[in-house]
Amino acid sequence: MSATRIVVLGYIVRGPLGGLAWHHLQYCIGLANLGCDVLFLEDSDDYPSCYDPCRHSVSENPSYGLHFANETFSAIGLDEAWAYHDHHTGRWLGPAARSAPEFCANADIMLNVSGVNPARPWLGDIPVRVFIDTDPVFTQIRSLTEPDFRALIDWHTAHFTFGELVAAGRSRVPDDGIAWKATRQPVALDCWQYGVGPDHAPFTTVMQWQSYRGRAFAGVTYGMKSESFGNVMDLPQSSPVGLEIALGGEEAPRDRLRAHGWRITDPLSVTRTIDSYQQYLRDSMGEFSVAKEGYVTGRSGWFSERSAAYLASGRPVVTQDTGFGELFEVGRGLLAYRTAEEALDALVNVAGDYTKHCVAAREVARSHFNADIVLENLLSEL
């Protein structure tokens, strides 16, 4: 693999937040550890898309994100391995700005993580162009209903999805005719400090109440996390552990959640840097979360990159079942629930033998999300 040149397309300059950054960074770290020559490349796209968390604004100005990316790539030892193309001004920016077009011209593989970067001429000659779907069911519905988006998917030469049951033909996700292959979030285990967590801390999660509008297709509605929350709204009143959410979204009903016993904290302070994000996970007893209602309805087998990071930190995860119980061992370190009663039982279980579940959580991450294995499997498929 030392001769393999790989372009990773991602979303860090435009989405300069700790959790989002780790999602994409671990592809770069994992591929570099396998001996590949890696370039992270991001494109502004053709519309204002640069988020500035200090101003709570979205614009064409990438200044905040460029500074964030510079500090972030320096922190992981890939200082020179990234570039940003600002289509609004026609400029290449970042440490690899001058060499990026030449790297693309000689690259072997392109990975478009989450499909959030557009097709550009300097990418078109890369012989293997991979679309990685991290949002199953919503991706497939867009593929069936949005011609421009379908054209972007078809421009790629290979297609992978976090909806592993979609790839296996065992989901309820609409069939868009694409030959999806299974993949999952790679986790660079050496980047995640492991230890038994604080048993006095709350279970936490980081979430957006309404990421975007839900979708309807063929008479079925596929909703967001907000639609999944009703079943567990009262859970804090009986839970043996505290439950906290670093909650984003102006429309989130924070007062109502607090009235039901949920602790609410500011997501921007948690995700300010990749280090602050990791610290928040380490300071947690574990993760309790819901999934997008569409993932559950579609039974896609999707599993969260955030939850994989909790597991890698040795923090047990109790999360809503999307079908992933068919893919991973559940019950020790990772526990799935479908009802509020099952969620409560899982929290009681973890609290009753906490150290065992911390050890098991790290083992689940090592067995199923180790970047060496996940990325070797992906490259072998290619």
Residue owning tokens 């048993």: 199
* DSSP assigned state of 171: S
Query: Domains plus CATH for the chain?
Result: 5-188+370-381 (3.40.50), 189-368 (3.40.50.2000)
Specify the residue for token string 């592993």.
164
Q: Which of 239, 230, 226, 198 is nearest to 346 (CA)?
A: 239
Percent of the chain topping pLDDT 90: 98
| CA 366 – CA 360 distance, rounded (Å) | 10
Residue that is written with structure tokens 């200044």 in the block: 63
**So what's the pLDDT on residue 1?**
60
| Rounded-to-integer distance, Cα 85 and Cα 105, Å | 15
Cα gap 179→89, rounded to integer Å: 37
Quickly count: other Cβ atoms within 10 Å of residue 57's Cβ.
Answer: 12
Could you tell me the mean pLDDT of each successive run of 10 residues in the chain, 382 residues long? 88 97 98 97 97 95 98 97 98 98 98 97 97 98 98 98 98 98 98 95 97 94 95 97 96 97 97 98 98 97 98 98 95 98 98 98 98 97 94
Regarding pTM above 0.95, the answer is yes
Can you give the pLDDT at residue 3?
Answer: 75
Distance (Å, whole) CA 59 – CA 175: 35
- Residue pair 30/188 in contact (Cβ under 8 Å)? The answer is yes
Q: Give the ranges where the chain is alpha helix by DSSP (H).
A: 18-33, 63-75, 100-105, 138-145, 147-155, 164-167, 225-228, 254-259, 267-270, 274-282, 293-298, 305-312, 340-352, 354-368, 371-381
CA nearest to 97, candidates 72, 65, 64, 66: 66
pLDDT score at 209: 95
User: What pLDDT score does 66 carry?
Assistant: 98
Task: Say if CB 133 and CB 106 are below 8 A apart.
Answer: no
**Gap between the Cα atoms of 137 and 115, Å rounded:** 14
Give CA–CA dist 40/25, Å, rounded. 9
